[in-house]
Structure 1
Amino acid sequence: MVHTLSADTHAAQNNPAHTPPPLAATIGDNPVRLWGMTSAERLRRQCVRNGVTEVRAWDGQDQGRAHLLLRTDWVFDEVLVRDLAKRPGTILVDSRNQEPVAAHVAADEAAEVAQMLNNSRVVPAEMAERLRVLVPDDLSSSYNHALRKRETPFLLRLTPEALPRIEQRMFAGSYKGVTDVVTKYVWPLPARHVTKLCAVIGLSPNMVTGIGAILMLLALWLFAEGHYLPGLAAGWIMTFLDTVDGKLARVTLTSSKWGNIFDHGIDLVHPPFWWWAWVAGLSAAGLTLWGWETAAIVIIWVGYVSQRLQEGYFLKRFNLDMHTWRPFDSFFRLITARRNPNLVILTLATLLGRPDIGMALMIVWIVACFGVHMAQIIQAEQASKKGPITSYLSA
């Protein structure tokens, strides 16, 4: 089975003034559903995200346009679709068996190559002499800047028997490689099942984000009233859904500019308000910070803003995420004073009956992390004198 799709990202690869964008067409179908959608629909969404403008049934008519051909009995990492769309005159083959699975070819070769993809398990020698034959590693980089990790692009044969393994691999591929300890080690298994449920019942990422926003406000109110355990329950569910919405958007290819603003806007704004509410709620719970309440709130806000500024400075100064420079930097991201690690401190202390001590420990940790990040910046400044610094993940 083959999909042939057009992408205006290829348009004008060699002659931008005269080369029209390629057309799109599909051949055959695969009934196996990935995250609640057919393989054909997944391919359509992948290509739309990378400039595809048309999808039609392949009728053998090239209409003078180049084609991107994709078999529906294979699952492609999106980066492969994106990069193949930029490489006219290319056939993509499976690394293990050298089986042809996709191609980007000119109009006069589309019918021949489509037939080959449908019927052949090897690229004919004569065709290999005319077109580049690449495996995934040759076509695309294994370093994903957006997700901050090194990972070989996946290319998997889609069968009913392989579906659970494929969806597990796709979900793992949607995860950031450098993140906090809870997101990296606690949430993946339950989040995969909840993400699949949301995809099957048609719950959109923005809907999940909206539920999380309501829980975020509920946690804020509960903290301010001194109801710490119920507030922590609401807060932890919100952080879990914060993992689910992003993964749902990635595996279903439904991310949007508004969704990204909605999700990241909430993530960026709410943490210091939570910590302020926690301090405010101590009096309602019959506790204090021993007269340091105002100082605590100042440290919370200054520390939060400073950490964001430190990360922003590092990124702008060195064109590199602070947490992907060295292995230590990635490790420290697991525990640095961001929302989830801070919640761990507060939760443990509250379970022991001392939310006041939990807040005190969190404040100490905020100050300590500020010092570590300053040291990272200073070390990067010194290292950059010898030349540009790069991520160990992209080596």
Structure 2
Amino acid sequence: MMTVKAYLEESSDTPLWGLTSRERLQKMLSKMEGIELVGSDELAEIGTEILVLRADYVYDQHVLSGLANAEQVILHDSNDHTVVAIRTRVDVASAVQPPRIAEFVDHALEPVTPSSVASGLESKLRKFDAPWVARVSAQNREPLENALYRAAYKGVTDLVTKWVWPLPARAVTRFCARTGIRPNHVTSLSYVLTLLAGVLFYYGHYGSGLVCAWLMTFLDTVDGKLARVTLNSSQFGNLFDHLLDLIHPPFWYLAWGFGLVLNVPDSIYWLIFIGYIGGRLCEGAFKTAAPFSMFIWQPFDSVNRLITARRNPNLIILTLAWLCGALYVGLVLVMLWTLISTVVLGVRVLMARAAARRGAPLTPWLSNVDSVAERYPLMVRWFTFSAPSIRSGG
């Protein structure tokens, strides 16, 4: 693999989520394959592939990846056309010192903008964000932190995570970042709340159990966002978080049933577990037809993810049942909704595999946002994000 040497120019002392823009860039570049971050006192040899970035700017990850894979380009800020970065090869004229952006302004490099050098589709987070860069300043600190927080959020998720948690989770994430609380600390508290909620359900204390359950789901949003905005994600932290998410929901429903004063038929528990496992298997089976999440295949799938029988939609059912004094009915409704959701997912898998056998191309609808905007305007507003509008104040 070709190695690209990265140089950083300029700097800003304004921290964003606890990191200066230079520190943020250094962390982002260190995690990119094929990128070697070189100090300003090191000379680049003639013929070296280089990436020179202004470190007083914050960059969307898609832009950095696009620049690393580009050739002979000069990046302009879409807002004021400032030259922000260059990606080129060192020539004789620039071999005597670390190359600087100013040297290449008049060179024959292809001018690009964030949206032309990168794609905003992020399959792992099931979202589309317009690529962007922005200059860092004290005046821009809050909107830039908000933009980075939004970039850390999944575009396609359940309705609670998408529309209820963002504002309070941002406040708690900011508190954690500024007080040194790390993502794994938050996840550890989530484990405690998960166990406590299960125990409370088991002993019939449904109100307090639901409080613990909802707090756990809230912190499940916070830990992931904290890891992404502070660039403190790790393989262990990712496994630590997702293992909890994967295992605990059906055991909550089991504890809920055990806490009831009446005898719950074993078939209800079996159907809940079968439906839950079946739904997860369907999500994995979809990737035998297409290498992306089934929830970004078509607009229907993204809407389905809002309400499909995952933890938060099922907690809504159980909370409403508790408020109505219909605890057993709530458990039955969770069973039915889990089975219905799994059937829907199974049908979507069969449809995708049939399309693949016919040779029809399977692509995420989020990768063609412009072409579907007129047909699905509401879906585009729900599941995509435009580039942040941030003034380049000094």
TM-score higher than 0.5: yes
Task: Give me the whole-angstrom Cα distance separating, in 2, the residues matched to 1:301 and 1:219.
Answer: 19
Residue 353 of structure 1, CA deviation: 2.0
Greater Cα shift, 376-385 or 256-265: 376-385
Task: Please name the residue that 2:328 is paired with.
Answer: 356
Check the 8 A contact 2:59/2:134 in 1, yes or no: yes
Q: What is the aligned partner in structure 2 of residue 152 from structure 1?
A: 130
TM-fit CA distance, 1:158: 1.2
1:74 matched to 2:60? no
State how 1:103-142 maps to structure 2 within 5 Å: 103-108=86-91, 109=94, 111=97, 114=100, 116=102, 124=105, 126-127=106-107, 129=108, 131-142=109-120
Matched, 1:392 2:378: no
Query: Taking structure 1 as reference, are residues 324 and 27 closer, same or farther at Cα in structure 2, changes over 3 Å only?
Result: closer
* SS across alignment from 1:61: coil
Q: Which amino acid aligns with 1:243?
A: T
Q: Which of 262, 270, 293 does residue 265 from structure 2 map onto?
A: 293
% identity of equivalent residues: 41
Aligned to 2:58, the other structure's residue is in SS state strand
Is residue 14–residue 20 contact of structure 2 (8 Å, CA) maintained in 1?
yes
- Paired AA for residue 387 in structure 1: A
Structure 2 counterparts to residues 198-347 of structure 1, below 5 A: 198-282=176-260, 286=261, 288=262, 291-347=263-319
Distance 1:95 1:115, change over 3 A: closer
Q: d(CA) in 2 for partners of 1:221 and 1:112?
A: 62
Given that 1:103 and 1:113 are in contact with CA atoms closer than 8 Å, whether structure 2 keeps it comes out as no
Kindly state the Cα deviation for residue 268 of structure 1 after the two structures are TM-superposed.
0.6
Match of residue 83, structure 2, among 97, 100, 123: 100
In the alignment, is the contact (CA less than 8 A) between 2:9 and 2:53 conserved in 1? no
Query: More relative contact order in 1 or in 2 (CA 8 Å, sep 6+)?
Result: 2
Match of 1:383 among 326, 330, 355: 355
The 8 Å contact of residues 318 and 388 in structure 1, kept in 2 or not, is answered as no
Q: Which of 48, 51, 61 does residue 30 from structure 2 map onto? A: 48
Greater mean deviation of Cα atoms: 104-113 or 167-176: 104-113
| Deviation of 1:69 (Å) | 1.5
The 1:55–1:220 alpha-carbon spacing in structure 2 relative to 1, beyond 3 Å, is: farther
Residue aligning to 1:38: 20
Paired residue secondary structure (2:86): strand
Q: Distance in 1 between matches of 2:88 and 2:290?
A: 39
Deviation at 1:54, TM superposition (A): 4.0
* Aligned length, in residue pairs: 362
Deviations 1:191-242 (A, max 9, x none): 1111111111111111111111111111111111111111111111111111
TM-score (norm 2): 0.86
State the alpha-carbon separation in 1 of the partners of residues 303 and 115 from structure 2: 27
Question: How far apart in 2 are the matches of 1:263 and 1:112?
Answer: 42
Pairing partner for 1:180 from 158, 170, 183: 158
Deviation digits for residues 56-95 of structure 1, max 9, x if unmatched? 3x24733555432211221101121222223343321112
Contact 1:84 1:104 in 2 (8 A): yes
Q: Structure 2 unaligned segments of length 5 or more: list them.
A: 369-394
Given that 1:10 and 1:85 are in contact with CA atoms closer than 8 Å, whether structure 2 keeps it comes out as no
Q: Secondary structure at the match of 1:30?
A: coil
User: What is the CA–CA distance in structure 1 between the aligned matches of 2:114 and 2:233, rounded to whole Å?
Assistant: 24
Residue identity opposite 2:21 in structure 1:
S
Query: Does structure 2 conserve the Cα–Cα contact (< 8 Å) formed by 1:346 and 1:359?
Result: yes
* AA aligned opposite 2:100: A
- CA distance in 1 between counterparts of 2:79 and 2:37 reads 32
Runs of 5+ consecutive residues of structure 1 not aligned to the other structure: 1-8, 12-20, 118-122
Aligned partners of 1:320 and 1:66: how far apart in 2?
32
Partners of 2:38 and 2:189 in 1: how far apart?
A: 34
Deviation at 1:10, TM superposition (A): 4.5
Q: Is the 8 A contact 1:10 1:86 kept in 2?
A: no
Letter in 2 for 1:29: S
- In structure 1, distance between residues paired with 2:245 and 2:49: 43
**CA–CA distance in 2 between the matches of 1:173 and 1:231?**
32
**CA offsets 1:4-40 (integer angstroms, 9 cap, x no match):** xxxxx751xxxxxxxxx63x54444311110011111
Q: 2:11 matched to which residue of 1?
A: 29
Distance 2:306 2:52 in 1: 41
CA deviations 1:260-315 (Å, max 9, x no partner) are: 11111111111111111111111xxx3x3xx5431111011101100011111112
